């Protein structure tokens, strides 16, 4: 919940500053919407595989749980790599966060989400190790469910980033 | 925590619905930017894609996060509504205030500002 409020503040900042491009690149010229659409589909699919993983965990199937979480991890990693590629492209072409208020708020908002994804991946890797070593006890199961909640939450935040930042940006 | 019912069917439904919604939103914008004349008006598109995103958030909250299913569902809902209230105040408030800043300028400032703008 506190995280949600933080994202709300970043969204508000972005909404206010989105047109202040200071003569630099504007939203429409900055984004590669097809690339971002692919990112969206990947993250959505990872949310689905994460759901299947917690389903397998609830059924007590260790092998399936690990398999689905590995799939989620791989998709999450793909998403993160794509996002970093996008950031790298922007910074290389002179559209880094220091260019304008629009880009500062863009990097703050999308970067905060990316950081959450990175932390989520680390968390997922550690949880998988724990499950492999201790099996699916009530305790590890509860840890898995919390991780799944976090992951689904990140997907919901991304849906709003995709809508507000990218889709409304290129309109 | 009370029992949470996991089911394959629910996850699949949520996933397919989410996919559908995101493709519709993308499709609307795609038609908008790829056609020469205006198919949909800007305000319509803006409202439409936000509604699509909200529907999707509700679907995912319900099916992926199992909201309102367990014993503590009521407490959770209260927390969610409280957070939504905060978010509304922060986001709508910021946009409202920042877009009406010019109302708070002195006449001299407004004159300076208008002079600094290019002629229409």
Q: Where are the domains of chain B?
A: 1-71, 72-120
pLDDT at residue number B1: 39
User: A71, A37, A31, A29: which is closest to A51 by C-alpha?
Assistant: A71
Please give the Cα distance from A160 to B53 (Å, whole number). 6
User: B65 to chain A: nearest residue by CA?
Assistant: A149
Model-level ipTM above the cut of 0.85:
no
pLDDT at residue number A121: 92
Put simply, the answer to whether B83 touches A1 (Cβ < 8 Å) is yes
A12 touches chain B (CB under 8 A): yes
List, in order of start, the domains of chain A with CATH numbers.
Answer: 2-170 (1.20.120.80)
Q: What is the pLDDT of residues A57-86, one digit of tens each?
A: 888 888 888 899 999 999 999 999 998 988
How would you classify residue A23: left for phi > 0, otherwise alpha for psi between -120 and 50, otherwise beta? left
B15 touches chain A (CB under 8 A): yes
How many other CB atoms sit within 10 Å of the CB of residue A87? Answer: 18
Q: What is the pLDDT of residues A1-23, one digit of tens each?
A: 667 777 777 777 767 676 665 55
B9 touches chain A (CB under 8 A): no
Please give the Cα distance from A45 to A28 (Å, whole number). 27
User: B40, B38, B17: which is closest to B28 by C-alpha?
Assistant: B40
For residue B34, give every residue at least 6 positions away whose Cβ sits within 8 Å of its Cβ, in sequence order, or none: none
How would you classify residue B37: left for phi > 0, otherwise alpha for psi between -120 and 50, otherwise beta? beta
């Amino acid at each position: 919940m506190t995280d949600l409020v933080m994202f709300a503040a970043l969204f508000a900042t972005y909404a206010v500053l989105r047109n202040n491009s200071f003569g630099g690149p504007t939203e429409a010229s900055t984004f590669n919407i097809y690339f971002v659409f692919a990112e969206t589909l990947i993250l959505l699919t990872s949310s689905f595989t994460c759901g299947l993983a917690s389903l397998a965990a609830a059924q007590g199937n260790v092998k399936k749980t690990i398999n689905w979480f590995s799939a989620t991890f791989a998709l999450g990693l793909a998403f993160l790599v794509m996002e970093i590629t996008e950031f790298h492209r922007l910074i290389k072409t002179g559209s880094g966060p220091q260019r304008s208020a629009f880009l500062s708020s863009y990097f703050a908002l999308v970067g905060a989400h990316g950081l959450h994804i990175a932390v989520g991946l680390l968390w997922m890797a550690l949880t998988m190790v724990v499950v492999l070593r201790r099996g699916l006890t009530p305790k590890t199961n509860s840890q898995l469910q919390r991780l799944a909640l976090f992951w689904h939450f990140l997907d919901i935040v991304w849906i709003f980033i995709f809508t507000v930042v990218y889709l409304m940006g290129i309109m | 925590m009370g029992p949470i019912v996991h089911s394959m069917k629910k996850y699949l439904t949520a996933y397919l619905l989410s996919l559908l919604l995101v493709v519709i939103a993308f499709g609307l914008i795609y038609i908008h930017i790829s056609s020469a004349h205006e198919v949909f008006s800007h305000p319509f598109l803006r409202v439409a894609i936000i509604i699509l995103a909200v529907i999707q958030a509700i679907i995912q909250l319900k099916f992926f996060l199992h909201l309102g299913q367990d014993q503590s569902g009521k407490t959770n809902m209260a927390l969610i509504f409280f957070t939504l209230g905060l978010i509304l105040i922060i986001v709508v408030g910021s946009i409202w205030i920042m877009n009406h800043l010019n109302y708070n300028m002195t006449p001299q400032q407004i004159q300076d500002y208008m002079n600094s703008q290019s002629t229409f």
